[in-house]
Structure 1
Amino acid sequence: MIPARAWADAQRLWDFQQMGHKPRPCSVAIGLGSHDLGVADATAELFHQGMAPLIVFTGATSRTTRDRMPRGEAEHYRDRAVELGVPAGVILVEPNARNTGENIRFSRALLEERHIPVSSALLVSKPYEERRAYATARKLWPEIEWISASAPMALSEYVDSIGDARLVIDMLVGAQQRLMVYPRQGFMIEQEIPDQIAAAYERLCGDGFTSRLVPESAARA
């Protein structure tokens, strides 16, 4: 049972992670691999809306995806997008990235290797990681314009889709921690953290939602 206060604090973190960008046509859409096939769904929908002529799906496997996506997150995303009507020929797969920083760096290298000009990119992530992904992309590829995007879902809808409320709150807390510690380590641009967001984060940590925290000395974007 999740206490009402914890739900309220999780909602604060959820809202803060939303960048509020309005999707617009970009050179490419980059879907960041994870356990959540909803990222592939959102990327496919943006393609069908005419927001990008090309898609890059990026991601290897992690401890949360190796069983569900044994061929790699990017490969499973590609298959999902094709099921949703995206032509296979407009999808590039980057199969090696294991964190957000590598997602950006390896996708950039793949596009440059193919001599594909990029001036802007739709950065498609899980809803609770929009801000983290954006801050990382701005740090590692500052020459282009980044537009954040994710599935338009409320926190309650997302929890229902995952089926594990505690895991979702743990992931929200982990995403918030990275926003606070990674800029000092050079992994992302600095983001202003409002006092009420920092306080919500601290309360959730105190309530034990800490399984997705990383040691600062070992942190990677």
Structure 2
Amino acid sequence: MAVTISGWPRSPLSCTTAARFPRGEAVHYREHALELGVPDSAILLEPNAGNTGQNIAFSREVLAAVGITPKSVLLVSKPYMERRSYATARKVWPEVEVICASEPLEFDDYLKSIGDEKLVVDMLVGDLQRVIEYPSLGFAVEQDVPEDVHAAYVSLTNAGFTSRLLSS
């Protein structure tokens, strides 16, 4: 079994990512996997992706280059990104079974780890916008967004939680 590690090199959109992983997510995740005892020979590194779609597409290419055609993939992300990661993978790699996972993290603990409540809400609002908008852009499969969730999204954008929104 191979572990493909992909992550943003240094995303300009994510100051939290760049601050935590100055050499890029994939490099840091690889080092952590090695510290946990994963053999180096089992790790395939994909350090060039700049977004979730590229993480999935480029990882697929890395696996294919070594003759691996998986039947299922495990996507690991922040809890608030699971839904978008799933929708993106279903679009980019429809023939595999997609399983999503994230660290069990309470919202308050996530807020504390980032240290900026407005930024966290901006990130959540931005991610929901992508769940809503990406299907029409061809980046993800359509997903149902309940009316109360959509209403909360509109309310939060009207309240100024917009720093992570896609530009029109």
1:156 counterpart SS class: helix
CA distance in 1, matches of 2:87, 2:18: 27
CA distance in 1, matches of 2:152, 2:142: 19
Alignment correspondent of 2:11: 62
CA distance in 2, matches of 1:134, 1:200: 22
Partner AA of 1:62 in structure 2: S
CA distance in 2, matches of 1:67, 1:181: 27
In the alignment, which of 72, 82, 97 is matched to residue 120 of structure 1?
Answer: 72
CA distance in 1, matches of 2:81, 2:160: 20
Partner AA of 2:149 in structure 1: I
In the alignment, which of 121, 124, 132 is matched to residue 172 of structure 1?
Answer: 124
2:122 counterpart SS class: helix
Bigger mean CA deviation after superposition, 64-73 or 186-195: 64-73
2:28 counterpart SS class: helix
Task: Give 4+ residue runs of structure 1 displaced > 4 Å after superposition.
Answer: none
Superposition deviation, residue 175 in structure 1:
0.3
CA distance in 2, matches of 1:140, 1:109: 12
CA distance in 2, matches of 1:193, 1:69: 32
* 1:32-51 mapped onto 2 (5 Å cutoff): none
- Superposition RMSD in Å: 1.4
Q: TM-score, normalised by structure 2?
A: 0.92
1:4-25: per-residue Cα shift (whole Å, max 9, x none)? Answer: xxxxxxxxxxxxxxxxxxxxxx
Superposition deviation, residue 117 in structure 1:
2.5
Partner AA of 1:55 in structure 2: V
CA distance in 2, matches of 1:186, 1:120: 22
Partner AA of 2:40 in structure 1: A
Partner AA of 2:77 in structure 1: S
Superposition deviation, residue 80 in structure 1:
1.7
CA distance in 2, matches of 1:203, 1:209: 9
Unaligned runs of 5+ in 2: none
Aligned length: 164
Superposition deviation, residue 91 in structure 1:
1.6
Partner AA of 2:5 in structure 1: F
CA distance in 1, matches of 2:48, 2:159: 35
1:61 counterpart SS class: coil
CA distance in 1, matches of 2:10, 2:25: 6
Alignment correspondent of 2:92: 140
- 1:129 aligned to 2:78? no
Alignment correspondent of 2:142: 190
CA distance in 2, matches of 1:78, 1:188: 27
In the alignment, which of 86, 97, 100 is matched to residue 49 of structure 2?
Answer: 97
Superposition deviation, residue 66 in structure 1:
4.1
In the alignment, which of 197, 202, 205 is matched to residue 157 of structure 2?
Answer: 205
CA distance in 1, matches of 2:166, 2:18: 20
